[in-house]
Every structure is written in C-alpha cells, then in structure tokens.
C-alpha cells in the first residue's frame, strides 16, 4: 500500500506529487530584497529532494510599512515588486519547476511587529489596527528590549491606509502570477498585520474592521477577496492562521470550535482554498474535550483541505528549540500518517527540520535519520 505521505494531492488545479510542504521560514538572505543565486539554489535543492510544495519565506508586499526591523533583523528580506526582485523570483520559480516542484510565495506585511524608523521606508509609521502592539507581560517570543521600544501605543490605521494595504496585497498576488508561481500563500498568523486585526488584544476598533470576532475577520476576508479578484478563480490561495502570537505565545484567537468557525467562514466565502494551521506541535489538541488538532478543526468546520505544521521531525517546538539552543532530529511521522489517513488534515508543513536538511523529504521516504536543527546557523544553511 502506498505511503500516504508520498501520495499525490491537488489544491484546485495544482497537483502535488506528495503531501510534504516546505513551510515558510524567514532567512534574510536576499540582498536588497532581491533573490540571488544562493536563494535559487536553496529552493531548488528542496524541490530536487522531493518536497511536494514549497511555500517561500515571507515576501514583502509594496507598502511602506510592510517590512522593517523588529523581532528579527530587517536586512535582506525579499520583495515581490520591482524589476530586479521579480526577475530573481522568476529564476527561483523556474528552478523549482525544473526540479519537478511547485511553489507559492507567502505574502507578508509585518504590521505591529515592525519597529518604527526601520526598513526600506523608515519614514513611514508602522501599521496597527488600533495603535496597539499587544499586551505587556505575556510569554512572548521576542527580546525584552524590543518589546520596550514597540509597546507604547501608536496611531490607529485609517480607512484609507487599510484600503492601501489591501490593494498592495492584490498587486503582490498579481505579480506572483505573472512571475510564474503556482499559487498564493497569505501570512495571517503570528501577530503580523492580518493576525493583529483578528486578535482582540490588538484590534479594539468599533467600525467595520473590528468589534466581535466576525467583525475582526473583515480585514482578512477583504485581503483574500482582493487577491481572488486579482488572480482569478484558478489560482489556489492558502491562508496561514495561528492561535499563538509573537506578543503572546499562549494566545487564543478562538476558544471554542464555534468561535473558530466564525473566524474562518468569511475567509472561505472570500476565496480561500486551503488553510495552513500554524501550531506549536502538529498533534496538539486545539480545544478541551477532543484530540482534534487546529488543522483538523479547520478542515471539519470549513470542508476545505488543511495543512498541519509544528515540530515535525524535531523533539522541541519553536519556542523550546530556540530557548534550548536547538532540537534533535526525531521520526514522529507515524502520528502524521495516522492523522492524515484518518482524514484529519491533508498536508504536513515542515519548517526547521527541512531548513536544516535539504534531503529531509528523501530521508523520510527511506526511513533514514534526520539532522538536528541549530538556530544559531539557520540563516547560513543552504
């Protein structure tokens, strides 16, 4: 019987050779925002080694406050605008396609996580739904000195500023299709701009962009709808969401399955094709009283395919691996296969383990041991 991990899967009209997805992980390796030969080789190696779908690192949309310093270094994050960057991405896409792979760019706006006065446009203030970075004193994933700088309240976004960001997402998606990407991934997680509209701690608005959970979903739905209008009906759209935030690692957007459905349903109606549920551990139950994961609930509640991600191939979650200085490579794929066979989720995202080892997918297929993850060297790995 065929291993379900290595069975084909289709997202709309895009056929994947297997269920292993390279999850997006920022590396800051595109000088001046332009992917170079090293970036081309980096993605090609994973495609050559059998990854079914590559979701790129976060790629900046053309908006003044989309990128900058903050919880990470601001240098060398790639763009998805301008002739040089688009030519660089076209070479990446061609290399991945030449190796038999498929690739989506992850469209990204940092929102509250960006620090004022940084990035390509330091004069542009950072974008925050209600002027809030997040609550103080929570278990965050970012340095204390950074929190001290960004915690003071800023100006809330105006309707015009919100419209500009939505348009910039649509323009980036249009560029992605013209460049040859197979689909679009949207970063709606981890405390960045879209997620900050979803989260009650950072969205205190009482207009059409705020209020209850359905109201807080309006911005995300508007972004999806604009992208759908820009790319047409045949280009698949993946939407990443999370409970945890960089501001609060134990945050909850939805406390019940009903709340989760309230949040996700507008995104389905707007045109999402598949959900990417980013969690600390892929097999962690999402709600009390059930073993079902966040990806499992997303699939059950919406009827759309879902991807699970978190700790695949490693012995520690994201927070734990950085706190401990690394993670050992382990084979925890039996649980992935069991849940996938049961129909809980359709794809499995592999981040740190696949960055640490380009041959990870081949090793998984052969039952070979995996390399450890070392956060001190992750941005230098090829």
Average pLDDT of the chain?
A: 94
Q: At residue 323, does pLDDT exceed 80?
A: no
pLDDT of residue 72: 47
pLDDT, greater one: 7 or 75: 7
Q: Is the pLDDT of residue 188 over 60?
A: yes
Tokens 């109201």 correspond to: 215
Residue pair 7/19 in contact (Cβ under 8 Å)? The answer is yes
Task: Take residue 147 and report the two structure tokens written for it.
Answer: 């929190």
Structure tokens at 22: 């390279």
| Mean predicted confidence (pLDDT) in 11-27 | 95
Q: Which of 29, 28, 25 is nearest to 37 (CA)?
A: 29
What pLDDT is stored for residue 71 in this prediction?
A: 46
Q: Phi and psi (nearest 5°) for 19?
A: -100, 5
d(Cα 26, Cα 103) in Å, to the nearest integer?
Answer: 16
Structural domains in the chain, CATH included, are: 4-380 (3.20.20.70)
Looking at the chain, the number of H-run helices and the number of E-run strands are 13, 10
Cα separation, 210 vs 189, whole angstroms: 17
- CA 96 to mean position of chain CA atoms: 19
Cα angle 55, 276, 238 (rounded to 5 degrees) comes to: 60
* Distance between CA atoms of residues 365 and 345, nearest Å: 19
Dist. CA 177–CA 228, nearest whole Å = 12
Range 2-6 average pLDDT? 95
Query: Quick one: pLDDT band at residue 342, thresholds 50, 70, 90?
Result: very high
Q: What is the pLDDT of residue 380?
A: 62
Report, as an integer, the average pLDDT of 93-97. 98
Mean pLDDT of 265-271: 98
Nearest 10 degrees: Cα torsion 246, 221, 111, 155: -120
* CA 237/CA 172 separation, integer angstroms: 13
Q: Quick check: 9 pLDDT over 90? A: yes
- Tell me the pLDDT tens digit for each residue of 29-73: 899 999 999 999 999 999 999 999 999 999 999 999 999 986 445
* pLDDT band, residue 161 (cuts 50/70/90): very high
Catalytic machinery residues: 192
pLDDT band at 378 (very low <50, low <70, confident <90, very high): low
Question: How far, in Å, CA of 97 to CA of 102, rounded?
Answer: 6
């Amino acid at each position: 019987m065929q291993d379900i991990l290595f069975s084909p899967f289709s997202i709309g009209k895009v056929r994947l050779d297997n269920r292993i997805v390279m999850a997006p992980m920022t590396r800051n390796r595109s000088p001046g925002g332009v992917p170079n030969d090293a970036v081309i080789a980096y993605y090609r190696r994973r495609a050559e080694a059998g990854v079914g779908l590559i979701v790129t690192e976060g790629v900046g949309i053309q908006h003044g406050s989309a990128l900058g310093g903050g919880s990470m270094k601001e240098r060398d994050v790639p763009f998805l605008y301008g002739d040089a960057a688009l030519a660089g991405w076209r070479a990446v896409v061609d290399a991945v396609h030449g190796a038999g792979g498929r690739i989506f760019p992850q469209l990204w706006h940092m929102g509250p996580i960006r620090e004022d006065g940084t990035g390509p446009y330091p004069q542009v203030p950072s974008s925050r739904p209600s002027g809030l970075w997040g609550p103080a004193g929570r278990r965050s994933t970012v340095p204390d000195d950074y929190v001290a700088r960004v915690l003071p309240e800023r100006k809330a976004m105006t309707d015009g500023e919100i419209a500009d960001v939505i348009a910039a997402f649509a323009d980036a998606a249009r560029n992605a299709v013209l460049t040859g990407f197979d689909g679009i991934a949207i970063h709606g997680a981890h405390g960045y701009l879209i997620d900050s509209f979803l989260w009650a701690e950072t969205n205190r608005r009482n207009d059409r962009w705020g209020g209850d959970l359905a109201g807080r979903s309006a911005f995300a739905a508007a972004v999806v709808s604009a992208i759908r209008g820009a790319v047409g009906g045949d280009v698949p759209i993946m939407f990443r969401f999370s409970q945890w935030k960089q501001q609060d690692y134990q945050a909850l957007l939805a406390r019940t399955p009903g709340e989760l459905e309230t949040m996700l349903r507008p995104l389905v109606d707007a045109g999402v094709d598949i959900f990417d549920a980013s969690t600390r551990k892929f097999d962690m139950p999402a709600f009390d009283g059930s073993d079902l994961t966040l990806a499992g609930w997303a699939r059950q509640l919406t009827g759309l395919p879902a991807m699970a991600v978190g700790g695949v191939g490693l012995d520690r979650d994201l927070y734990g691996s950085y706190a401990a200085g690394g993670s050992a490579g382990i084979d925890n794929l039996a649980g992935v296969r069991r849940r996938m066979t049961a129909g809980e989720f359709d794809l499995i995202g592999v981040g740190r383990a696949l960055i640490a080892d380009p041959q990870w997918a081949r090793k998984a297929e052969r039952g070979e041991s995996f390399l450890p993850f070392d956060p001190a060297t992750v941005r230098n790995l090829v």
